[in-house]
Amino acid sequence: MVLKRPAGGWQSRIDRVFDGLEAVPGASLSAAQRVEIDAALGRYLDLLVTWNERLDLTAARGEDELVDLFVADAALLARFAGEAGSWVDVGSGAGAPGLSLKLICPELPMQLVEPKSKRVTFLRTAQGSLGVRGLEVRREQSQTLPPACAAWGVSRATLAPDLWLKEGVRIATAGVWVLLAQGEPPEAAGWRADIDVSYVWALTGVSRRALRYVPSAAFG
């Protein structure tokens, strides 16, 4: 499907996504932060629409779904991203949720891991066009990443949840985020979920669930 930039821009849709998460516990953004984030995410979505015309970067079937896909999960993660440490997004695709999270929380050191060259080209172009610092784009698969290469790991729809959690605990030291659309949460020996949040994508009404797994030793 051909996606188009809305005549009025992306701000109203982005704001609806963030406003829809206000009931979720976690850190809120100030009005000044929201203005800057809306602008950065809007430029990112413009790039996605332009590049998608020739590279087919996303399966989004409309502008609402595009914003939900590329903003909603990242906005949820941002509410809990205050802990120190670097992040890795495995199978980042066109940047969801890792690049979006980086735009929302610019101070987070972030690695985007993606094996497909065309998507890597887009990610690196977006990094330069958006002036993103503290971001590394890596063209490789997760199994080639060294153990303990980041504090926090996240992946969406690249691997089945149980396989991602198994891989995530290998490469992340502090915690692993598992994003679910449906199904039961996975388990990993020696790790437990300390955050379990159900939420809804504001624009398309899709039910989501996010779990953060940390080493069981963290529970004392």
In the chain, what are the domain boundaries?
11-219
Helices within 59-183 (DSSP H only): 63-67, 73-78, 98-104, 117-130, 161-171
Per-residue pLDDT of the chain (220 residues; tens, 9 = 90+): 689 999 999 999 999 999 999 989 888 888 899 999 999 999 999 999 999 999 889 989 999 999 999 999 999 999 999 888 999 999 999 999 999 999 999 999 999 999 999 999 999 999 999 999 999 999 999 999 999 999 999 999 889 999 999 999 999 999 999 999 989 999 999 999 999 999 999 999 999 999 999 999 877 6
Please say whether the structural domain 11-219 has been given the CATH code 3.40.50.150.
yes
Is residue 213 packed enough to be buried (19+ CB in 10 Å), middle (13-18) or exposed (0-12)? Answer: buried
**Can you give the pLDDT at residue 83?**
82
Say how many Å lie between the first and final Cα of the chain, rounded.
51
**Can you give the pLDDT at residue 148?**
97
Strands 172-180 and 207-215: antiparallel
Q: What's the predicted TM-score (pTM) here?
A: 0.96
DSSP per-residue letters across 94-109: TTTTHHHHHHHSTTS-
